Amino acid sequence: MVVTGRALHAPVRGVLEMFDAAFVVDEGGTIVEIGRAEAAAGQVLMPGMVDLHVHAPQFPQMGQALDVPLWQWLQEKTFPLEARYADPAFAAEVYARLVDCLLDNGTTTAVYFATIHLAATQALAEICLKAGQRALVGRVAQDDAGQCPDWYRDASAEVAEAETRALIAHVRGMAGNEAGLVRPVITPRFIPACTDDLLARLGRLALESGCHVQTHCSESDWEHGYVRDRCAMSDTAALAGFGLLGRHTVLAHGVFVSEADAGVIRAAGSGIAHCPLSNAYFADAVFPLRRMLDAGVNVGLGTDVAGGASPSVLESARHAVTASRQLESGVDARVEAGARGCAGARVSAAEAFWLATAGGGEVLDLPVGVFRVGYQFDAIRVAGGGAASNLRLEAEDGAQDVLQKVIYTAGRQDICDVWVAGRRVGGTGS
Ligand code: GUN
Ligand code: FE
């Protein structure tokens, strides 16, 4: 297959390349050659977006209940919703809608938290495979009787481990998944929801299985403080002790990680899913993105649906820029300018785009997010100009112009093609 068009990517953080390309893609979705071709005006091909953190079962409450603190939101809103996925029919209906929605928003790789229900989580993996979305799918493990209600808790650490093993076997064995488009991910919800026994079991399973791992880490004052009180150390140190920090670990949020924690995360080769919109509601502070990047930590973006009320990684990129600018300037006008913010905290739109694409690919250690021979052809075609669009790309726009216009003004209506592994799987078609 050959796809032609003006291509724009960020092979290195902060560096943009734009060129008129003909991508030659083999049967397995791998880019085997990048030639030159005439490109139509007003359109651009970009690497598909990587969403490092999305709660599939929370899709129905997107936009709701963002005005209560994290603990209350979990106990009163989110756990009751997630408990409903005991019904596989409900799960199948929601998950099919979600996967289509994310694909049409340009998310070619998604890292999913599901629920504690094995059947529903298997259904999510099957839906991703059928729809053609690259995905990491996790059955949530949470067995702590003090933090999880009786009606939404694993019966024991043994059960949680056994069902996690079953999910891994199921996903790896799905017919049509020989290339590993969909993968299992070991998913302890977060330290407060899990007993030490369960965390240690899942740490051993990570080593044994080679699976990816995901969890929430140092998200808010309450959560970070809870772990300090219980474990007498930070989330990062505790997770490392349980064997849960490896090259294929994704830590959601990480707002309160210290410099020492950053060193541990970097040494382990783990990554952070930065979820700026969710952080505005639940984190109590702005994620120190620049500090983490400077510390050499792998970082990408997440939507955190439905702690974040948007399914679009383009919007996450936009919010990452905004949050970093507010961190830099500071937020209280009564404080003197020099003392108000954190100097040097800003990231550019080009850096946010890198986070949304190549950065996410690096966190996951997958060959996606860059247009490069040997990488997968996971891509979107963005074209503005329609009646429902706020975007207009001009023939004379340079790489920065195109990138900034897309990051700041493009939406789902502008994404006309979405490919994963060379297969067209979404887009408006116009
Ligand atoms: N911490 C534990 N569970 C969750 C969740 O579902 N969303 C967010 N944002 N934080 C969490
Ligand atoms: Fe989350």
DSSP string for residues in 52-119? EEEEGGGGGGTTSSTTS-HHHIIIIIIHHHHHGGGSHHHHHHHHHHHHHHHHHTTEEEEEEE--S-HH
Helix (H) or strand (E) holding 272: strand 271-274
Helix axes 313-329, 399-409, angle to 10 degrees: 100
The structural domains of the chain, with segments of one domain joined by +, span: 2-47+371-426, 49-364
User: How confident is the model at residue 33, as a pLDDT?
Assistant: 98
Q: Is 359 in contact with 365 (CB distance < 8 Å)?
A: no
List the one residue out of 29, 51, 133 whose CA is nearest residue 361: 51
The pick from 51, 143, 216 for probing ligand 1's pocket by mutation, whose C-beta has the most ligand atoms within 8 angstroms, reads: 216
Least confident window among 106-110, 300-304, 365-369, 386-390:
386-390
The pick from 62, 79, 189 for probing ligand 1's pocket by mutation, whose C-beta has the most ligand atoms within 8 angstroms, reads: 189
Quick one: average pLDDT of 273-287? 98
The pick from 191, 199, 219, 303 for probing ligand 1's pocket by mutation, whose C-beta has the most ligand atoms within 8 angstroms, reads: 219
List the one residue out of 136, 201, 135, 210 whose CA is nearest residue 163: 201
User: How confident is the model at residue 430, as a pLDDT?
Assistant: 67
Q: Confidence class of residue 342 from pLDDT cuts 50, 70 and 90?
A: very high
Q: Give Cβ neighbours of residue 410 (< 8 Å, ≥ 6 apart).
A: 314, 382, 384, 390, 391
The pick from 51, 52, 55, 303 for probing ligand 1's pocket by mutation, whose C-beta has the most ligand atoms within 8 angstroms, reads: 55
Helix (H) or strand (E) holding 347: none
Does the structure show a pLDDT above 90 at 386?
Answer: no
User: How confident is the model at residue 7, as a pLDDT?
Assistant: 98
Ligand 2 centroid, distance to 54 Cα (angstroms): 7
Among the atoms of ligand 1, which is closest to the Cα of residue 113?
6
Ligand 2 centroid, distance to 43 Cα (angstroms): 34
Among the atoms of ligand 1, which is closest to the Cα of residue 219?
10
Ligand 2 centroid, distance to 26 Cα (angstroms): 36
Who lines ligand 1 at CB under 6 A?
55, 70, 74, 78, 189-190, 216, 219, 278, 282, 304, 307
- Which tens digit of pLDDT belongs to each residue from 285-325? 999 999 999 999 999 999 999 999 999 999 999 999 999 99
Q: Is 330 in contact with 340 (CB distance < 8 Å)?
A: yes
Q: Is 276 in contact with 300 (CB distance < 8 Å)?
A: no
Q: Give Cβ neighbours of residue 252 (< 8 Å, ≥ 6 apart).
A: 52, 53, 214, 215, 216, 217, 219, 272, 273, 275, 302, 304
Does the structure show a pLDDT above 70 at 58?
Answer: yes
Q: Token pair of 79, please?
A: 């756990």
Q: What is the CATH number of domain 49-364?
A: 3.20.20.140
Q: Is 304 in contact with 54 (CB distance < 8 Å)?
A: yes
What is the signed CA dihedral for 168, 422, 272, 401, rounded to 10 degrees?
-170
User: How confident is the model at residue 97, as a pLDDT?
Assistant: 98
Token look-up 């953190």 returns: 53
Q: Is the dihedral of CA 83, 87, 88, 90 positive or negative?
A: negative
Ligand 2 centroid, distance to 254 Cα (angstroms): 11
Cα gap 188→186, rounded to integer Å:
7
Ligand 2 centroid, distance to 5 Cα (angstroms): 36
Which residue is closest in CA terms to ligand 1's atom 9? 307
User: How confident is the model at residue 41, as a pLDDT?
Assistant: 86
- Which tens digit of pLDDT belongs to each residue from 14-25? 999 999 999 999
User: pTM of the full predicted structure?
Assistant: 0.99
User: How confident is the model at residue 18, as a pLDDT?
Assistant: 98
Ligand 1 centroid, distance to 139 Cα (angstroms): 14
Q: Own/partner pairs for 173-177, CB < 8 Å, 24+ apart?
A: 174/125, 174/126, 174/129, 176/129, 177/129
| Helix and strand element counts for the chain (H, E) | 16, 16
Peptide bond into 260 cis (omega under 30): no
Q: Which CATH number fits domain 2-47+371-426: 1.10.1740.110, 3.40.50.970, 2.30.40.10, 2.60.120.260?
A: 2.30.40.10
List the one residue out of 282, 284, 278, 276 whose CA is nearest residue 319: 276
- Which tens digit of pLDDT belongs to each residue from 161-210? 999 999 999 999 999 999 999 999 999 999 999 999 999 999 999 999 99
Which residue is closest in CA terms to ligand 1's atom 8? 307
Ligand 1 centroid, distance to 278 Cα (angstroms): 10
Does the structure show a pLDDT above 70 at 50?
Answer: yes
